[in-house]
Amino acid sequence: MVLFWMLAPVMVLAALGLLFVRKAVHAALLLAVVMVCLAIMYAMQDAPFLFAVQVIVYTGAILMLFLFVLMLVGVDASDSVIETIKGQRLAAAVVGLLFGVVLVVGVAQVTITTVTGLDVANKDGNVQGLAQLLFSKYVFAFEATSALLITAAVGAMVLAHRERLTPKRTQADIAAERMRDYVAHGKPLGPLPSPGVFARHNAVDTPALLPDGTPAETSVSRVLTARGTIRSAPDLADDIDELTRGMRADGEVRPGAPGEAAAPAENDDVNPKEK
Amino acid sequence: MDPTPFIGLSAILFTIGCIGVLVRRNAIVIFMCVELMLNASNLALVTFARVHGNLDGQVAAFFVMVVAAAEVVVGLAIIMTIFRTRRSASVDDASLLKY
């Protein structure tokens, strides 16, 4: 009973969280907490088979399905705060609380005097006892369940299936389209330039430098550009300007000299890389 | 073990599930609240199976789980289809029949 009083507040809090969290993913995780706690309660109440089924089917399969659909639908699809029916939220809360009070008071008034316990029913083992019931008394319900499951599977396939409206693009189609683009718009046929070539860094966020010193925009991933994590083009151009200026200054001071020892202090960090 | 606290907990969880269905607007969260209600009823079934000393209640809980699994599969497929056509998982946006 100690375990019950430890688990029950956790379950009620997690279930209440289901009402208040904004993000659907958090709701799914809270529901997972409730279900795992419920599984432990089944184990406490002499139902080891249901414990396993609860963990495998509910937390393992159903909640993963929920999370899967959440990922498909969009994780950031949070609840809207706008009430379409005025006062519906408050009314729902009041009616729900009344329902709960009635339910709890009703349960509290019933006194269960004798608890038989499952020791006799489980004497051959819980799974064996359940199997004997399932395949004798409830065999038609069990068969109906199989029909239900197969209907559900087919139904889900029919609902989720989408006919292809356009023919699938093959590799040959893509190659032909690329050639057409080259002819019409002059798009490069080969791969795009890789980042960092001839630049000061060879990191992916540094655009390659073209022979005239300007950064090649196409050499950096579009995603990085959109995030704004690349080193900006003017920034790099500054580097180049500085470098060329330093070289010119070097040349003016000592024309024709190798220029390794007497380089100006501010160009110390660029000059060795240049050579 | 006294079964009354289990039944009380089951009632509380069922109530929270009820309120969730009425209050939340996201179809998937509403679905989760329905699952919570099913689970609460399962807890009551398992508790009463122990009180009465036979396994019928556990078999019933097992059937509830199977039906819930089938229901989730179809329900989530429906939500997916609605999301595909209306670009929203909110129950308020599925109001085409109203107009």
Contact B80 A73 (CB under 8 A): yes
Residue B79: how many other CB atoms lie within 10 Å: 22
| Higher pLDDT, residue A175 or A79 | A175
User: Residue B62 phi/psi, 5° resolution?
Assistant: -60, -45
pLDDT at A135 over 90: yes
Please write the tens of the pLDDT for every residue from A36-50: 999 999 999 999 999
Which of A7, A94, A99, A103 to mutate against chain B (most B CBs within 10 Å)?
A: A103
pLDDT value at position A211? 75
pLDDT value at position A30? 95
Of B24, B26, B92, the CB nearest to A84: B92
What is the C-alpha separation between A205 and A202, in angstroms, rounded? 8
Q: What is the DSSP secondary-structure string of chain B? A: --SHHHHHHHHHHHHHHHHHHHH--BHHHHHHHHHHHHHHHHHHHHHHHHHHTSTHHHHHHHHHHHHHHHHHHHHHHHHHHHHHHHS--BTTT--GGG-
How much is the pTM? 0.73
In tens digits, what is the pLDDT along chain B, a chain of 99 residues? 788 899 999 999 999 999 999 988 888 999 999 999 999 999 999 999 999 988 999 999 999 999 999 999 999 999 888 888 887 888 877 777 877
Contact B8 A120 (CB under 8 A): no
> Is the separation of the CB atoms in A209 and A244 below 8 Å?
no
pLDDT at A265 over 60: no
> Is the separation of the CB atoms in B7 and A3 below 8 Å?
no
Contact B36 A16 (CB under 8 A): no
Which of B4, B7, B62 to mutate against chain A (most A CBs within 10 Å)?
A: B62
In degrees to the nearest 10, what's the CA dihedral of B76, B78, B83, B88? -80
Neighbour-count burial of A26, counting CB atoms closer than 10 A to its CB (0-12 exposed, 13-18 middle, 19+ buried)? middle
Tokens at A185, concatenated: 């718009």
Contact A130 B58 (CB under 8 A): yes
- The reply to whether A90 touches chain B by the CB within 8 Å rule is no
Contact B46 A160 (CB under 8 A): no
- The reply to whether A93 touches chain B by the CB within 8 Å rule is yes
Contact A156 B29 (CB under 8 A): no
Which residues pair with residue B26 across a beta bridge?
B90
Q: Kindly list the residues from chain B whose CB atom is less than 8 angstroms away from the CB atom of residue A34.
A: 13, 36, 39
Which domains does chain B possess?
A: 4-86 (1.10.287.3510)
CATH class of the A1-76 domain in this structure: mainly alpha
**Which part of chain A has CATH 1.20.120.1200?**
1-76
> Is the separation of the CB atoms in A217 and A199 below 8 Å?
no
> Is the separation of the CB atoms in A48 and A40 below 8 Å?
no
Please write the tens of the pLDDT for every residue from A4-28: 999 999 999 999 999 998 888 999 9
Tokens at A36, concatenated: 């795992």
Which of B2, B4, B21, B28 to mutate against chain A (most A CBs within 10 Å)?
A: B28
pLDDT at A122 over 70: yes
Neighbour-count burial of A213, counting CB atoms closer than 10 A to its CB (0-12 exposed, 13-18 middle, 19+ buried)? middle
Tokens at A251, concatenated: 């040349």
pLDDT value at position B82? 87
Residues 25-84 of B with CB under 8 A from A: 25-26, 28-29, 31-33, 35-36, 39, 42-43, 46-47, 49-56, 58-59, 61-63, 65-74, 76-81, 83-84
Please write the tens of the pLDDT for every residue from A92-115: 999 999 999 999 898 888 877 788
> Is the separation of the CB atoms in A1 and B19 below 8 Å?
no
Taking each helix axis as running N to C, give the angle between helix A63-73 and helix B56-86, from 0 to 180 degrees, rounded to the nearest 10: 10
pLDDT value at position A231? 67
- Residue of chain B nearest A150, judged by CA positions: B70
Q: What is the DSSP secondary-structure string of A32-86? A: HHHHHHHHHHHHHTT-HHHHHHIIIIIIIIIHHHHHHHHHHH-TT-PPP---SST
pLDDT at A259 over 90: no
Please write the tens of the pLDDT for every residue from A171-194: 999 999 989 999 998 887 888 877
pLDDT value at position B83? 87
> Is the separation of the CB atoms in B21 and A135 below 8 Å?
no
| Higher pLDDT, residue A119 or A57 | A57
Which residues lie closer than 8 Å to A255 by C-beta, 6 or more apart?
none
Residue B18: how many other CB atoms lie within 10 Å: 22
| Mean pLDDT value across residues A150-154 | 95
The interface predicted TM-score (ipTM) is 0.93
- The reply to whether A60 touches chain B by the CB within 8 Å rule is no
pLDDT at A264 over 60: no
Nearest to A121 by CA among A113, A131, A135, A111: A131
